[in-house]
Structure formats: structure tokens, C-alpha cells
Amino acid sequence: MVPYHKEESVPSDDTQSRTRRVDARRNEKTLLDAAARVFADQGIDAPVRQIAAEAGVGVGTVYRHFPQRSDLVIAVYRHQVDACVDLGERLLRRGSSPLAALEEWVDAFVDFLVTKHGLASVNGGQADEGGLHAYFLDHLVPVCERLLEAAREAGEISTDIGAYELMRGIGNLCLFGGDDTRYDARKLSHVLLAGVVSHRAADGE
Amino acid sequence: MVPYHKEESVPSDDTQSRTRRVDARRNEKTLLDAAARVFADQGIDAPVRQIAAEAGVGVGTVYRHFPQRSDLVIAVYRHQVDACVDLGERLLRRGSSPLAALEEWVDAFVDFLVTKHGLASVNGGQADEGGLHAYFLDHLVPVCERLLEAAREAGEISTDIGAYELMRGIGNLCLFGGDDTRYDARKLSHVLLAGVVSHRAADGE
DNA sequence: CGACAATACGGAACATGGTTCCGTATCACA
DNA sequence: TGTGATACGGAACCATGTTCCGTATTGTCG
């Protein structure tokens, strides 16, 4: 309400309101590291309590830093998603075949999802949206869109599928359970992509 | 250990040991109906307690008839899976293009999964195997295998993808969350199938 | 330096959902 | 009708995510 008087409103996007307590900052890092470790050898379904224990903090602290479990997962893998975005942009600049670029990019993305077991299943809100979390989608869809568009302009693709739909589809394909040797998400994603190349949109689609 | 003495071992596959109590049989039917109703308007994630309540029985009764939650789901949709198997066989007998048959069959399957919201995500064991349940897979894979084989023999398909993998892939594609209008599982399954038709297996695959 | 308020912490407690247990009620059969 | 087998009900248990709140730590100001 009071318009002047101590500048602290309008948090906009400044990283921290002001000197965040050192213990807080330390704990956040500790948590991120602990979570990365736990996720690595127990999968992203590891219980929050366990991560808290690994970090040597209480669950309350986890939730102070990451309001929802999924926020922690996102935070842990954020940089990998960013790397994927970068890769996409680099591939775009590279002059070669847009389709080849798209294929390479999808491969990298699938690899990322498959590597961390079960990463693809991080839920955003409730049990509502299965599949990729909004953060991933928000960042990856634009890149995918451009790759797709480039390939389309080059006449290498005929399907009118959207980037969002493709991302979700791939994310879902990477959603496997167990270490089933009979199912290879990478292979399926290749097949899907082959379909994107050759599929002619039918009437209702 | 004792080899004789009352015949009751070797349960093999006889439907019921002897006259099953009428209340038991009645409750099973009641449960199946209640579950179908609850699943229909709350999705297959509805709590067991709720189904028990709808059926007017205790949870213990639910678990007596269906040892695991997923068994109940399976039981509710078993006949639809069977119908899908039948359809496959009918399509096989029909003389037309094997590929067309496969496409029609996949469509029917996808429709089945999409219609019941979230059906595709019934877990078998723990959180191990996401996607289709073993029962579904066990029954559908053989049919799919034959359809696929027929199409391959007719030279309409080049990919060496297996029926199991295809079923799982399609199941995963149907695994969506929310009623996202931007994602159409049917369309994605068509694209995947188009990929099956055109995709040439590369080196490592 | 010492007090105070803001910030952060820990972990018990709550909510939800699957599953198990066991005392009691009901049924089949003699 | 008596009796053992079968089935039932639902409290209780376990696991998980998440919230709450009393206590501890930290930064700042007098």
C-alpha cells in the first residue's frame, strides 16, 4: 500500500530480496547436491524424507526451499534442460539439414530422459498432468518448434504436428517402468520421428 | 507332504473349489458394477475406499475378491480387452490389406485407452512397470504380433519393431494427463504407426 | 556488544491412499 | 439345527507428500 518507505516491494525477478541468510543459502546447495545423489541411485521417486536425511536437514527445510517435491526435481535438472535448449540453438545455427538437426536434438533429449530413470514422469500439479513437467515443456517447446519449422520449410517434413505435441509424445515414450530390456525408448522415438517425416495428415487431424 | 488324505491340493485351474457362497458371488458382481461406475466418473485413480463405499462393502471385501487394486481395474475392463483381441482376429481373417487391418486395430485399441481416462496407467506390481498392465499386454501382444507379421509379409512394413514394444509405445502415448486439448493421443499413435511403416532400422537397432 | 525482529530450522502431526489383520457374521452341508 | 468353512467389516498399519509451529540462528541497529 504505502508507495515509498523502504524499497522492497516489486520482487520482480531479482534473485534474492536481500542478503539471504547464509545457512539458508548453504542448505539449498546441500539439498540440491543430496537430491542429485539420491535421485541418481534411487530414481526420481525417492521419498522426500530420504533426501532430507541425506542432506542432514529436516523435511520442513526441504519444503521451505522447494514448495513442492517436483520443484526440487526441476531444480536438480534445470541445467541439463538448459543445455538441451542450447544444443538446439547451436544445431539451428549449424547449416546442415534441418531434419538431421531435429533428429540429433531429439536423440539428445531422449538420452537425457532415459538416463535419469523415470525423469519423464515428474508431475507438475496434482496427478493431473502426467509426463513432462511444465518447466521442461516451457523451455523445450520453443526450440523444438523452430527445429520443426526449419525442417518443414526445407520440405523435409510433411506432418503438421506441433512442437508441444511432439515433446509430450516423446516424453511419454520415455516413460517406461522397470528396466525392461524389451522396451527401448530411443528406438520408439526414432520410429515416431520417422512418422513425423512421412505421415500425411488425414482428414480430421 | 501327505500324499492322500482329502482331495484339495493341486488347485490347477478349476474355477471354484466348490459351491462358492452366494454372498461372495453377489458381492463380486456388486463390486465390479460399483467400480465400473466409480471409474467412469472419477477416473481409474479413484481410491479403493470409495469403490468399497459405492458398493456398500468394507475394504476387506474388496481385497478378498481382488488382491490388488489393479486386479479390480483389470477385471472391470477385461471384456473390452477381449473384444479387442476378437477384433484383431476378425481383421486378420478379413482378406484386405494387412496394414489397413493393423491401423484399424490400433485405432480401436487407442480409443479404448483414451475413452477411460487414465486407463493406460494401471500399474501391475509396484511403481515398477508404468504403462499397460501385464494382463493387457499378455492378451494383446500375440494379436498385434500376427497383424504386424502379416503386414510385414505383405511387404507393407519394413521396420523390425516387435509387437511388445509397439504395444507399450502406444500405451505410453495414450498416457496423458488432464484434458489437455493440445495433446491428441490418437494423432500421435497414427504418427507412430506411420513411422513403423516407413522407418528403416538403422545400425544399432 | 547486546537486544530484537526476521528468517530458517526440525520434526511431529496431518492427509491420503494402498494393504493387512482379525474378531464376528453368514453360509453350506450334514 | 449344529458346526466348520468362508466371507465380511473396518480398524489399524505403512508409506508419502505436505503443513504447522515452537525453537534456533542470523543480521542489524542502538
The pLDDT, as a whole number, for residue B180 is 79
Residue showing cell 538441451: A84
- B184:A176 CB<8 A: no
| pLDDT level of residue B76 (50, 70, 90 thresholds) | very high
Closest Cα in chain B to A178: B128
Q: Which CATH number fits domain A21-67: 2.102.10.10, 3.40.50.920, 1.10.10.60, 3.40.50.1970?
A: 1.10.10.60
- B193:A195 CB<8 A: yes
The stretch A9-24 carries a mean pLDDT of 62
CA of A106 to C1' of D8 (A): 55
The pLDDT, as a whole number, for residue A123 is 52
A123 to chain B, any CB pair closer than 8 A? The answer is yes
Q: Which nucleotide is nearest to A63 (CA to C1')?
A: D18
Name every residue whose Cβ is closer than 8 Å to that of residue A37 and which is 6 or more positions away in sequence: A54
Q: Of B202 and A88, which is predicted with more confidence?
A: A88
- A191:B195 CB<8 A: yes
- pLDDT of A13 higher than 50: no
The pLDDT, as a whole number, for residue A56 is 98
Which residues interact with strand D by a CB < 7 Å criterion? A 18-19, 21-23, 45, 47-49, 59-60, 63, 67-69; B 17, 20-21, 23-24, 27, 56-61, 63-65
- pLDDT of A161 higher than 90: yes
CA of B3 to C1' of C19 (A): 35
Of A130, A184, A199, the CB nearest to B165: A184
The pLDDT, as a whole number, for residue A134 is 83
The pLDDT, as a whole number, for residue A121 is 60
B127 to chain A, any CB pair closer than 8 A? The answer is yes
List chain B residues with CB under 8 Å of A197. 195, 198
In this predicted model, what pLDDT tens digit does every residue of B125-163 receive, in sequence order? 333 344 678 889 999 999 999 999 999 999 999 889 999
Q: Which nucleotide is nearest to B49 (CA to C1')?
A: C17
The stretch A184-198 carries a mean pLDDT of 95
| pLDDT level of residue A12 (50, 70, 90 thresholds) | very low
Residue among A200, A43, A180 nearest B169 (CA): A180
The pLDDT, as a whole number, for residue B72 is 96
* Share of residues in chain A with pLDDT > 70 (%): 79
- A205:B190 CB<8 A: yes
Lowest mean pLDDT across A101-115, A173-187, B5-19: B5-19
List chain A residues with CB under 8 Å of B130. 121, 175-177
A191 to chain B, any CB pair closer than 8 A? The answer is yes
The pLDDT, as a whole number, for residue B55 is 98
Within 10 Å of residue B149's Cβ, how many Cβ atoms?
14
Closest Cα in chain A to B184: A165
- pLDDT of A19 higher than 70: yes
- pLDDT of A129 higher than 50: no
Class of domain B20-67: mainly alpha
- pLDDT of A86 higher than 50: yes
Mean pLDDT, chain A, integer = 85
Q: Of B181 and A34, which is predicted with more confidence?
A: A34
Domain borders along chain A are 21-67, 76-198
Residues B84 and B109: beta-carbon distance below 8 Å: yes
Q: Of A18 and A186, which is predicted with more confidence?
A: A186
Select the residue from A44, A186, A187, A205 to test the B interface by mutation, using most B Cβ atoms within 10 A: A187
- Positions of chain D reached by protein Cβ under 7 A: 6-12, 15-21, 25-28
| pLDDT level of residue A180 (50, 70, 90 thresholds) | confident
The stretch B24-34 carries a mean pLDDT of 98
The pLDDT, as a whole number, for residue A15 is 44
* Share of residues in chain B with pLDDT > 70 (%): 79
Superfamily name with CATH number, domain B77-198: Tetracycline Repressor, domain 2 (1.10.357.10)
- B128:A177 CB<8 A: yes
Rounded CA-CA distance A175/A152 in Å is 28
Task: Count interface pairs A-B at CB distance under 8 A.
Answer: 129
| pLDDT level of residue B40 (50, 70, 90 thresholds) | very high
DSSP codes, chain B: --SSSSS----TT-S-SS---HHHHHHHHHHHHHHHHHHHHH-TT--HHHHHHHHTS-HHHHHHH-SSHHHHHHHHHHHHHHHHHHHHHHHHHS-S-HHHHHHHHHHHHHHHHHHSTTGGG--SSSSSS-SS-HHHHHHHHHHHHHHHHHHHHTT-------HHHHHHHHHHHT---TT-TT--HHHHHHHHHHHHHHPPP-TT-
CA closest to C11 C1', residue: A58
Q: Which nucleotide is nearest to A62 (CA to C1')?
A: C9
CA closest to D15 C1', residue: A47
CA of A4 to C1' of D29 (A): 21
Class of domain A76-198: mainly alpha
